[in-house]
Amino acid sequence: MADRFDSPYDIQTPPGAEGWEELYSYSSLFTESRRDYEDGGFWFHDGVHWPEALTPWDTTLFEFAIASLSQYNTRHYVIPPALGVDFRILNGYVYLSPVPAPMEEIEGRVPEFLERAGHYFQNWDSLYDDWLVKIRDLVQQLSALDLSGLPSREPLEVITSGAGQGSGNRLLSAYHRLLDHALTLWQYHFEFLNLGYAAYLDFFGFCKAAFPSIPDLAIAKMVAGVDVDLFRPDDELKRLARLAVSSGVDDRFDVGAIEQTFEKLASDEVGAAWIAEWEKAAEPWFNFSTGSGFYHSDKIWIENVEVPLGYIADYIVKVKEGVDLNRPVAALHVERDRVVGEYRELLDSDEDREAFDAKLGLSRTVFPYVENHNFYVEHWAHSVIWRKMRDLGNVLVEAGFIAEVEDVFMFKRAELSDVLFDLYSAWAVGTKPAGPGRWPAEIERRHGIHDALKQWSAPPALGIPPEVVTEPFTVMLWGITSDSVSAWLSSGDESADGSLSGFAASPGLVEGPARVIFSADQISEIEDGEILVAPLTAPSWAPVFGKIKATVTDVGGMMSHAAIVCREYGLPAVTGTAFGTKTIKTGQVIRVDGNTGKVQVLDD
């Protein structure tokens, strides 16, 4: 077993990707001037959120997210042992490195943490209520941004109202506000998350001290909510499927001709009533990404209606077969109470039971945020951001800067300020902008580089691993522990017998044929009774969980979205195997043990 991972400085540029560094912010690159620090650190690939090579603009939300996470640890709550999480982009893939607080400062940080975090814990419910208002307001502001093109004349009203400013100003400002709002969005995201995990970790640590062998899954189960916003989109699909059957319009959902469904529905009143219900559900619940939400290429239900309509069609078949689609909410509550009651009873003393109750209580207070924020931020708000960026793409296509709307994501975010100024000033002056002569060829070149980067396989980690992984959020958010690091280091030795290990994220033992899926576009390939093997799964894949027998992912821990959804659907899951999609091939029969976190290929 090796004792370190490759140095970031020894990683080769994939063929055809020469010059990739120009696609990303200089500050996010491994840089000679910081070499001593970078080479001595430990960097892991965050495949949970960013499994694929990023386009230049998509790094915006990555950089905003990690900077905001860090800011809350370092500058707001003064988390005693942890500063932020440093981040780099290498060959288009993201690498993270938790930064510990200096040992000698930890003690001094404690009183500040107590005061600041204490305020949030003591006022959690009212602050969270405020958060829900703030986040909806922010989405509203994002939605209101006007990123349309420039008119040949300002409307007369601009003159008569004495507005004193024009459309060019509006467009430039809208783009800058989009960036400002996106950063605010990520500030809001981490306003609660780090503290939520800290409270959860405290309960987690207590349970592990009381019951050294308690499965992580059991702890998650005691805390997790039953009615979670992330399940709402899927619940809405089921509701619409039942409505289609009960109102007799179910024959209009023909999987082979799903694009005509709305046309057929609109032909009469019953169908129109169904469409009205659809629209009620769609905003906001179908602002739901088929991926992690961090890629402009992730499909959003509301913009790709064939995805939710296809799921509805599948559910309609089940409704007609008499299958009960309702989640067994009452049974889930009973099971959660049973698990809590039995562990509680096994505790050693009333003193311990009192501590258990207090920690469980706080964990449950903070957990709705932990579970629900993802819909509001990564799904809903991001959907709006991608939409607005496409509006901007349209403007640039019309002005001849780029060939396709999607090309807007091949600009770095700061470049777009210059691009828009170019567009605006030429419009103002009444001449031709310089961009159309410059960008189409450059964007073409960038596509070539990005395509080459996509073929590259990012190693799970770089640099020198710490003796033990102690950074609390690394463990919780990314599922990276001392054990997983050593598993990565010995992965060469391990793959010989075709077995993989990861987190026992959802219990059960099954065998079946594997279906290896690399992106949401391939979801339709999944057949009944197969075992899904994917880099990661998104919550919006929920409807396929009715078909599959188990899930294996490359990345993610006990609290990854994949793990949460699998537990909800009662399917065995092993997450964070690192090499699942590389080792397993579609059609191979595999055994997935969600009790131990082992995956075995049974035939070749």
Partner 1 sequence: MTDSVTAVVFGSLASEQHTKVGGKCASLATMSQAGMPVPPGFAVLTEVFADAKEASGLMPRLNELVAHIHPEDQAALKVGAEAAREIVLSWEIPERHENCIRRMYDDLCTLSGLDQVPVAVRSSATAEDSPDASFAGEHDTYLWVVGIDDVLDRIKACWASLYTERAIAYRNQMGYDHAQVDMAVAVQKMVRPRSAGVAFTLDPTNGDRSGICIDSAWGFGEGVVSGDVTPDNFLVDKVMWTINRRTLSPKTHAHLLVDGVDGGLPKVDLVELPEDQVHAPSLTDEEIVAIARMARQAEKHYCCPQDIEWAVDADLPDGENVVLLQARPETVWSKKSRGVHAKADSMASIVDTLVNPLYARKGSQPA
Residues that bind partner 1 (CB under 8 A): 79-82, 106, 110, 113-114, 117-118, 121, 198-199, 201-202, 204-206, 208-215, 217-218, 221, 338-339, 342-343, 346-349, 351-352, 354-355, 358-359, 362, 467-470, 472, 475, 481-483, 485-486, 504, 507, 509, 595-596
Alpha-carbon 358 to chain mean position: 31
- Which H, E and C letters describe 302-350, residue by residue? HHCCHHHHHHHHHHHHHHHCCCCCCCCHHHHHHHHHHHHHHHHHHCCCH
Residue with smaller CB distance to partner 1, 429 or 468: 468
The minimum distance between CB 498 and partner 1, in angstroms, equals: 17
The minimum distance between CB 390 and partner 1, in angstroms, equals: 42
The minimum distance between CB 205 and partner 1, in angstroms, equals: 4
Residue with smaller CB distance to partner 1, 411 or 478: 478
The minimum distance between CB 203 and partner 1, in angstroms, equals: 9
Residue with smaller CB distance to partner 1, 208 or 432: 208
How far apart are alpha carbons 209 and 273 in whole angstroms? 56
Residue with smaller CB distance to partner 1, 458 or 558: 558
- Name, in order, each residue with C-beta under 8 angstroms of 414's C-beta and a sequence gap of 6 or more: 25
Residue with smaller CB distance to partner 1, 142 or 362: 362
Residue with smaller CB distance to partner 1, 424 or 503: 503
How far apart are alpha carbons 358 and 356 in whole angstroms? 5
Pairing of strands 42-45, 461-463: antiparallel
Residue with smaller CB distance to partner 1, 190 or 278: 190
The minimum distance between CB 86 and partner 1, in angstroms, equals: 19
**231-236, long-range: CB within 8 Å, 24+ apart, which pairs?**
231/327, 231/539, 231/542, 231/568, 232/285, 232/375, 233/285, 233/286, 233/288, 233/301, 233/308, 233/375, 233/539, 233/540, 233/542, 234/311, 234/542, 234/543, 235/327, 236/281, 236/285, 236/286
Residue with smaller CB distance to partner 1, 86 or 112: 112
Q: Tokens in use for 361?
A: 């209580």
How far apart are alpha carbons 549 and 546 in whole angstroms? 8
CB atoms within 10 A of CB 187: 16
The minimum distance between CB 111 and partner 1, in angstroms, equals: 10
SS3 of 35, please?
A: helix
The minimum distance between CB 601 and partner 1, in angstroms, equals: 19
Please provide the size of the chain in residues. 604
The minimum distance between CB 182 and partner 1, in angstroms, equals: 29
The minimum distance between CB 491 and partner 1, in angstroms, equals: 16
Task: Count CA atoms within 13 Å of residue 88 on its CB side.
Answer: 25
Residue with smaller CB distance to partner 1, 282 or 564: 564
Residue with smaller CB distance to partner 1, 95 or 356: 356
The minimum distance between CB 57 and partner 1, in angstroms, equals: 35
Helix and strand numbers, DSSP H then E, in the chain: 21, 12
Residue with smaller CB distance to partner 1, 441 or 468: 468
- Which H, E and C letters describe 507-556, residue by residue? CCEEEEEEEECCCHHHHHHCCCCCEEEECCCCHHHHHHHHCCCEEEECCC
Question: What is the four-CA torsion angle of 204, 206, 209, 210, rounded to 10 degrees?
Answer: -110
The minimum distance between CB 193 and partner 1, in angstroms, equals: 15
- DSSP H or E run through 42: strand 42-45
Q: Tokens in use for 76?
A: 């707001």
